[in-house]
Amino acid sequence: MSRSRYPKDPGRPSGRPGRVARGSPRSAQHRANGGRPGTRASASSDVKRPRAARPGVTARVLLTLLSKLVGLSILMAASAALYDLASSPIFQVSHVSVSGNRLLTDDEIEAVASAGGLNLFWVRRAEFRRRLRLLPPVESADISLELPDRLHVKVREREPAAIWQAGDTPFLVDHSGLVLAARPPEQPLSIIRDMTNQPLMPGSRVDADAVHSVASLDALLTRAIGPQARRYEFTAESGLNVVQPNGPRLVLGNGDDLEWKVSAIQSILRYLESSRASAQLIDARFGDRPYFR
């Protein structure tokens, strides 16, 4: 039996049916389709089209820039107005008031503050307080401002503890030995006459132990011996001395063991009274070895 043969397709090369021969136009199309049958490569598939700008985005950018420019203009105008206001002569300090001072005069404090003619808005209060604390009597200072042209200075001064008499000049000193001012006190204070002739001025330092001892020593001597108009002296050699109108000079040195020293002096005075003797000096500096002469 004879097998029928179909005529060969003149457009198909010989080989397996459905197989695309290499080098044929269909082979190129097949590779362009990624090897998938039945698809055609698009001529414009690899070309990216430019994205059209959206009108809303441009408007928002312009609006943002415009708002920033307007804000900057307002800020510059406000800054200029504020500078003109702060530089106005209306706000120059023309009235300075001082309170809390007893040892310093208003003029002395105003001279150190140097606030006259300054613009109130440019006053640096911390710097003013620092300058005022350089004055020996000033312990602290507070600065307040009042529109349009007033400045208030409130100071707290150190308390005088004694008068340190150097030559003919009375110096007020506090418990730490700091010389506060060269002026008489407003209230009675113990007087310590400086026999060392050291030059003094406000801000100098004297023997703090002697200043601290005088206040308690006067009370101890009054109880032990009786009230007298005593005078206190300070020397570099013997320290604190007590000069009495009636009785010998008392030498105590420093302020250590004042109660014991006064008790020893009281015992010597009783002995002198009982023996009807006299002495020009009683020295109680050396612990348990007081002596008189």
Those residues whose C-beta lies under 8 Å from the C-beta of residue 140, and which sit 6 or more positions away, are: 129, 133, 155, 156
More confident site: 121 or 77: 121
Question: Per-residue confidence at 39, pLDDT binned at 50, 70, 90?
Answer: very low
Strands 281-283 and 291-292, by their bridges, are antiparallel
Identify the CA nearest to 231 among candidates 266, 190, 285: 190
Q: Looking at 173-230, list the stretches that DSSP marks H as alpha helix, in order from N- to C-terminal side.
A: 208-224
Helix (H) or strand (E) holding 25: helix 25-32
- Category of 237 on φ-ψ map: left (φ > 0), alpha (ψ -120 to 50) or beta: alpha
Q: What is the pLDDT of residue 246?
A: 87
Q: What is the pLDDT of residue 118?
A: 85
The per-residue pLDDT of the chain, averaged, comes to: 82
**For residue range 276-287, what is the model confidence (pLDDT) as tens digits?**
999 999 999 987
**For residue range 236-266, what is the model confidence (pLDDT) as tens digits?**
999 999 999 889 999 999 999 999 999 999 9
For every residue of 74-114, which 3-state class applies, written as one string? HHHHHHHHHHHHHCCHHHECCEEEEECCCCCCHHHHHHHHC
**Tokens 């023309």 found at:** 94
Please name each of the domains of the chain with its CATH number.
Answer: 89-157 (3.10.20.310), 162-292 (3.40.50)
Q: What is the pLDDT of residue 258?
A: 94
Helix (H) or strand (E) holding 32: helix 25-32
**For residue range 196-240, what is the model confidence (pLDDT) as tens digits?**
988 999 999 999 999 999 988 989 999 998 988 889 999 999 999
